[in-house]
Every structure is written in structure tokens, then in C-alpha cells.
């Protein structure tokens, strides 16, 4: 039984607070935290040098499989995540064919390329996929699914789909068309599954967005401010209210990704008071960027980055438990793939999985807007609970996987895309100075990143089944 000691750490335990001492890891799991001299002799030691040691972060919102070549992209984005303290990745997997046929290939390529553990959300586009929801839960242990309210009419044409290993060098697209009846049926079916399903929904009312996009374009407006106006926060708020009603009606918990507008945060507070069972996510771009960002159209994303006033409201939501999780909405475009130009023609989205922790350390903890314990709740603990991964993930209590991150809260550094481990060759945070950095990242006691370098081993990651129990595996067959 291999034993690792993490010495001289300030361990942030979300359930209890900060504990100083030595973390003892046996066979990849937390055994105990001792405050005196350990009684046992370790096989390995890591000296935290008095720094904070956090439970590994969980990024519940990545799209790393949309761009070729599949294997190389997955490996690069896994490494980028590790550089930002991400020890568990939940990747959205979206196709229009049967997941019973395509998920096994994604798991197989995932265990070959990931440094950290991973699982998937599955997007529900078709009637067949809704019909097979119960079968997917039982076969793969996947208990989270996604609906896209924004993909209606022209917005759903030529939508990027995840690449399969058999055609890993080819971009794949499909036409999809959301309607309310499809969402209604998805909630009804989810309620019948003998597992704790959580439904994630991209909440933007497509008809409002279509109307406002046409109006703003006719005015000849451009840039991030025009994109923000064309996709108003009211469209998010209406979608949030509809989803909340269906959640309560059918007893299906929900997840609201990428919340960044004042109207959306207000709607979250309203549906919470109505008793909706939800977790809501914000992303670093909604507190660190705005419509005036120097990144310009490179920061185009859906929903848009908003105004500085919206960012203030997002901070309010975080501090008042209205927003409870952090994600990245990561798509690692290169500049050639992003195709920057007029805002209406530039592709939406950008990379960010490795930037969650640096941004929230710099803008949150080091500016007095977050405690280090609250950051851990947002970035790890709550997400683990939302998606059925707790207590294996999201904590450093005994019995949990020994996923941990050592941070230097005082280190200052400047963001340069050229120094990133991502396949993306630009950053929306380029030349920004961050205060707070990742020193070391470990998954199940194995160091995968340290001081700017990926340590491996590649393929250390395991697929996480979440039903009927949490189980790390290399196969779903």
C-alpha cells in the first residue's frame, strides 16, 4: 500500500474550514490529516511550504471534443485544465445519433488522453435520444443531460457536433431545431428514470434573440456591446423561469450554466424562493471581462460577456448563494478557427478551463470578494454534489480521492497564450496580470502538473460512472 505525505499544508476542507498539518494519502485516497508528527513512514513526500492546499477543482462545462484532431485536442485541453488545478472534467458530448453507440468510443479515447478523471453530460436533440435516456443511465452511469433552448430556426443550422474517434480529423455538423415540446418530454422522461437525473439547460429564449438580433443589426451596431444587446438578459430570465417551472412540475433537479447577466441573476433568486431544486454556474469571463474588454470580438460567447454593472450583480449572486458553481464553457479555438472579424460573423466561444482558478484567486480571494473556503465550495464541493460525485470528489475528508491543488496566493504572473498548454493560440486574458497561481496538481495522489510543466502520466484519467454508485473505470462496455 503506497503512502504519500503532503507536509506543511493549510488544507481547505469545505465542510469544516482550514486545517494545518500533514495530509496522508494511501493508495490514492485521503486517509487522514494529522496535526502532529505522522506515525507512519511515507513512500513519497510533497512539501506544501505553508501554502493552501485545495480539493481538486471540477470543471463541469467543457466542449473539448468539437475540433479536430480529437485525440490531440483532448490531451492538450486536459493538460491546460491540470495547469489550472482541474482534477475532474465534465465534458458536454453532443451528437444527433444514438449515444448507446457513440459514448463507448468517447470513453475509450478519453482514458487514453486525459490526465485527470472525467465524465460526460449528454445533449438531448432528438426523440430517439430522449427515448434512450433510461438506457444511457443504466449502461454508462451518466446522470446529467443538456437541452439548448437557443438552438431554434437559423441558430440551429450547421451546429458543431462532437467528433468520433473513427473520424477524428473531420469537423462534424448537424441541423437541430429546439421546441418547447421536446423540452417538456425530456423532463417527463427524466422524472421516470430510477436515478437522480440533473437537467442542464442553456436558457436563452431564441425568439427574443432572433428579434433583437435583427433589430440591432439594422441599426448598424457592432462589437461586444452590440452582441450583448442582441442577446438580452431578459431572454435568459424567461428561459430560467420556464425551466424552473418544469423542474418543480416533474421533480427533476436542474443546472443553469453560464449565468452572467443582471436579469438572469434576479431570475435565479426568484426561482430559488419558489423552491426550485437547482445549481447555477457562472464563468470567469462574467466577472473578469466586459463589453469594453480589450479582447474585442475574441471574447464573443453565448450568452455574451456583459457590462461592468452585470459583473457586480454576478458577484452579488455568488456572495448570496444564488450562484453556486464555477465552469469555463471551454472551446479551444485557434485564431484561424475563431475567424475574428465583424461580431456577427466571428465564431462564439473561447478557451478557459485552465483560467477558472487564476481568475477567481486574482479577482475574488485577493480582492476580498471571496474567502478561500467559499472559492472551494464554488469550484469543487458544490459541483461534486450537483453531479453525483460527492464525497469521492469535492473534498479532502478521509475516504475521498486524493485530488488536490497547491496554490501560491501571492505569486503574480502575466497571461500569455504562447505559454499555455492549450491548443488554442489566443487568450481573452492576454497580457492581464494575475495574482495567485497553481503550484502543483494531483489526481488520486499522482502529480499530473507542477510548476509550469505537465508531469503525467498521460492516460491516468478514469471515466466516472455515477449510477448506481460512483465508480472510476476504463471502460463502459
Residue 56, pLDDT score: 98
Give me the residue spans of the domains in the chain. 57-387
Residue 456, pLDDT score: 77
- pTM for this prediction: 0.98
Question: For residue 416, what are the CA distances in angstroms to 65, 419, 420?
Answer: 24, 6, 7
In the Cβ-directed half-sphere of 160, how many Cα atoms lie within 13 Å?
A: 18
Contact 4, 25 (CB under 8 A): yes
Can you read off the three cell numbers belonging to residue 413? 504572473
Question: For residue 160, what are the CA distances in angstroms to 64, 96, 103, 174, 258?
Answer: 12, 11, 17, 7, 19
- Closest-CA residue to 220 (of 342, 306, 307): 342
The C-alpha angle 61, 271, 470, rounded to 5 degrees, equals: 40
pLDDT mean by block of 10 residues, the chain; 477 residues: 95 98 98 93 96 98 98 98 98 98 98 98 98 98 98 97 97 97 98 96 98 98 98 98 98 98 98 98 98 98 98 98 98 98 98 98 98 98 98 98 98 98 98 98 98 92 97 89
Contact 266, 276 (CB under 8 A): no
Residue 1, pLDDT score: 79
Pick the CATH number of 57-387 from 3.20.80.10, 3.20.20.140, 3.20.20.80, 3.30.428.10: 3.20.20.140
Amino acid at each position: 500500500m503506497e503512502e504519500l505525505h503532503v507536509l506543511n499544508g493549510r488544507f481547505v476542507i469545505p465542510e469544516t474550514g482550514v486545517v494545518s498539518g500533514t495530509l496522508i494519502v494511501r493508495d490514492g485516497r485521503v486517509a487522514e490529516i494529522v496535526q502532529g508528527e505522522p506515525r507512519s513512514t511515507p513512500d513519497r513526500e510533497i512539501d506544501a511550504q505553508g501554502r493552501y492546499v485545495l480539493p481538486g477543482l471540477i470543471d463541469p462545462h467543457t466542449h473539448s471534443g468539437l475540433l479536430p484532431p480529437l485525440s490531440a485536442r483532448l490531451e492538450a485541453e486536459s493538460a491546460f485544465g491540470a495547469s489550472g488545478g482541474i482534477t475532474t472534467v465534465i465534458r458536454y458530448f453532443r451528437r444527433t445519433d444514438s449515444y448507446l453507440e457513440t459514448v463507448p468510443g468517447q470513453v475509450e479515447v478519453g482514458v487514453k488522453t486525459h490526465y485527470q478523471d472525467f465524465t460526460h453530460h449528454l445533449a438531448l436533440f432528438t426523440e430517439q435520444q430522449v427515448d434512450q435516456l433510461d438506457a444511457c443511465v443504466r449502461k454508462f452511469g451518466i446522470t446529467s443531460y443538456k437541452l439548448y433552448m437557443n438552438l431554434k430556426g437559423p441558430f440551429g443550422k450547421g451546429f458543431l457536433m462532437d467528433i468520433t474517434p473513427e473520424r477524428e480529423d473531420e469537423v462534424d455538423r448537424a441541423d437541430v431545431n429546439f421546441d418547447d415540446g421536446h423540452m417538456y418530454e425530456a423532463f417527463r422522461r427524466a422524472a421516470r428514470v430510477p436515478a437522480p437525473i440533473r437537467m442542464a439547460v442553456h436558457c436563452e429564449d431564441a425568439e427574443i434573440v432572433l428579434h433583437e438580433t435583427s433589430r440591432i443589426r439594422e441599426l448598424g451596431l457592432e462589437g461586444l456591446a452590440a452582441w450583448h444587446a442582441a442577446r438580452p438578459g431578459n431572454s435568459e430570465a424567461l428561459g430560467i423561469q420556464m425551466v424552473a417551472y418544469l423542474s418543480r412540475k416533474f421533480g427533476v433537479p436542474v443546472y443553469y450554466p453560464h449565468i452572467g447577466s443582471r436579469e438572469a441573476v434576479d431570475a435565479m433568486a426568484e426561482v430559488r424562493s419558489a423552491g426550485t431544486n437547482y445549481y447555477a454556474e457562472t464563468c470567469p469571463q462574467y466577472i473578469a471581462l466586459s463589453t469594453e474588454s480589450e479582447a474585442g470580438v475574441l471574447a464573443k460567447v453565448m450568452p455574451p460577456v456583459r457590462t461592468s454593472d452585470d459583473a457586480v450583480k454576478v458577484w452579488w449572486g455568488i456572495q448570496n448563494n444564488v450562484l453556486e458553481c464555477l465552469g469555463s464553457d471551454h472551446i479551444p479555438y485557434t485564431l484561424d478557427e475563431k475567424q475574428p472579424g465583424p461580431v456577427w460573423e466571428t465564431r462564439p466561444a473561447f478557451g478557459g478551463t485552465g483560467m477558472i482558478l487564476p481568475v477567481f484567486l486574482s479577482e475574488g480571494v485577493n480582492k476580498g470578494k471571496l474567502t478561500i473556503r467559499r472559492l472551494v465550495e464554488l469550484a469543487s464541493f458544490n459541483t461534486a454534489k450537483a453531479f453525483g460525485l460527492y464525497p469521492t470528489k469535492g473534498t479532502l475528508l478521509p475516504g475521498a480521492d486524493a485530488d488536490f491543488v497547491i496554490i501560491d496566493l501571492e505569486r503574480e504572473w502575466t497571461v500569455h497564450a504562447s505559454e499555455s498548454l492549450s491548443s488554442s493560440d489566443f487568450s481573452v486574458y492576454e497580457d492581464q496580470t494575475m495574482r495567485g497561481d497553481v503550484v502543483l496538481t494531483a489526481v488520486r495522489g499522482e502529480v499530473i502538473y507542477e510548476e509550469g510543466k505537465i508531469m503525467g502520466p498521460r492516460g491516468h484519467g478514469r471515466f466516472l460512472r455515477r449510477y448506481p454508485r460512483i465508480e472510476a473505470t476504463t471502460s463502459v462496455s
